[in-house]
């Protein structure tokens, strides 16, 4: 494990090992939160990288290691499409994980991003977060865990390069001012990322290597590489990356492994 300006880096041999390490950390974060507060709040990520993680969490031993009735599920971002659309981040998690575990339907908090009035949808989601996610001493809702991916352009959630939302400090949820893959999205904003108890980034594939190098080791330019917002995080930041994505990083000081799942 290597220390970085934006957290800790764990390099895994491949996607399978990455997903297993992510499942272990998800379970541990849930255990700690439930032990401390009787509940666990998590914001899930979209995209393809978390697919294997969601499938692992729906199967033993990980499924049975989480107290699902105490879990509140949110999303870090959502495409402005209906929930049954194959591009929906909600649909991804529902199909692979949520319909297989005993999380109460009332604890699954979907971003209603298909709504015509997207600003209203963003404001309502922010209110939902404030209702179920306890605030920290700065009055910002503190997710126990925020799962995040990394785009090959350095974005995370739906905070895209050049977006005015990278400087957003007031609203907790906003409508993107740029499109990606032809879709407008709703996204959490920097305060929710910076105040999370744990940011867990999952990054796999050679196409992510250049962005990962810039995000972790490059000059601080969050407007160009929004995932660098992790450098301002108040909680823990862990980067789980596969060897392909780590290809442009310097070799670790010592043998990296995920022996420490804590």
Chain residues that interact with ligand 6PG, rule: CB under 6 A = 45-49, 77, 89, 149-151, 155-158
- We find the least distance from the C-beta atom of residue 100 to ligand 6PG, in angstroms, to be 21
Pick the closer one to ligand 6PG by CB: 7 or 149.
149
**Closest CB 83 distance from ligand 6PG, rounded Å:** 14
Q: How far is the CB of 112 from ligand 6PG (least distance, A)?
A: 16
In the complex, the smallest distance separating the C-beta of residue 52 from ligand 6PG, rounded to whole angstroms, is 11
Q: Where are the alpha helices (DSSP H) in the chain?
A: 15-37, 51-57, 89-96, 118-132, 190-194, 209-217
Q: Report in angstroms how near the CB of residue 91 gets to ligand 6PG at its nearest.
A: 12
Question: The tokens of 80 are what?
Answer: 């402005």
In this structure, the strands spanning 7-12 and 2-4 are antiparallel
Kindly give, in sequence order, each residue whose CB lies less than 8 Å from that of residue 73, ignoring residues fewer than 6 positions away. Answer: 42, 44, 93, 98, 103, 107, 108, 109
Helix (H) or strand (E) holding 2: strand 2-4
Nearer to ligand 6PG, 156 or 256 (CB): 156
Please count the CA atoms within 13 angstroms of the CA of 48 that sit on its side-chain side: 6
Of 150, 22, 28, the closest CA to residue 97 belongs to 22
Which residue's CB atom is positioned nearest to ligand 6PG? 149
Least gap, CB of 71 to ligand 6PG (angstroms): 20
Rounded Cα gap, residues 190 and 212, in angstroms = 19
Rounded Cα distance, 262 and 1, in Å: 12
Which CB atom, from 81 or from 103, has the smaller least distance to ligand 6PG? 81
- By C-alpha distance, which of 258, 144, 246, 256 is closest to 204? 246
Query: Measuring CA to CA, which residue among 248, 253, 171 is closest to residue 209?
Result: 248
By C-beta, is 22 or 128 nearer to ligand 6PG? 22
- Beta carbon nearer to ligand 6PG, 77 or 144: 77
Q: How far is the CB of 117 from ligand 6PG (least distance, A)?
A: 21
Q: Please tell me the distance from the alpha carbon of residue 146 to that of residue 26, in angstroms, as a whole number.
A: 10
CB nearer ligand 6PG, residue 128 or residue 146: 146
The nearer residue to ligand 6PG, 39 or 125, going by C-beta atoms, is 125
């Amino acid at each position: 494990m290597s220390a970085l300006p934006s957290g800790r880096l764990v390099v895994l041999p491949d996607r399978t090992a990455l997903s297993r390490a992510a499942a272990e950390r998800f379970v541990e974060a849930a255990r700690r939160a439930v032990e401390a507060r009787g509940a666990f709040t998590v914001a899930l990520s979209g995209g393809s990288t978390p697919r294997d993680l969601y499938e692992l969490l729906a199967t033993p031993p990980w499924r049975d290691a989480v107290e699902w009735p105490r879990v509140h599920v949110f999303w870090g971002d959502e495409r402005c499409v209906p929930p049954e659309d194959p591009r929906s981040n909600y649909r991804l998690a529902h199909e692979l994980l949520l319909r297989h575990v005993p999380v109460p339907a009332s604890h699954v908090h979907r971003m209603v991003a298909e709504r015509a009035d997207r600003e209203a949808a963003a404001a309502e989601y922010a209110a939902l977060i404030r209702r179920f996610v306890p605030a920290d001493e700065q009055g910002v809702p503190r997710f126990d865990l925020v799962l995040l991916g990394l785009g090959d352009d350095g974005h995370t959630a739906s905070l895209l390069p050049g977006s005015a939302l990278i400087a957003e400090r007031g609203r907790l949820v906003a409508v993107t001012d740029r499109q990606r893959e032809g879709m407008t999205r709703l996204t959490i904003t920097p305060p929710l990322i910076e105040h999370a108890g744990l940011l867990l980034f999952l990054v796999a594939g050679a196409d992510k290597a250049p962005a990962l190098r810039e995000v972790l080791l490059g000059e601080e330019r969050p407007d160009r590489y929004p995932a660098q917002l992790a450098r301002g995080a108040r909680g823990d930041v862990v980067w789980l990356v596969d060897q392909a994505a780590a290809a442009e990083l310097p070799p670790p000081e010592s043998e990296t492994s995920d022996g420490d799942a804590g």
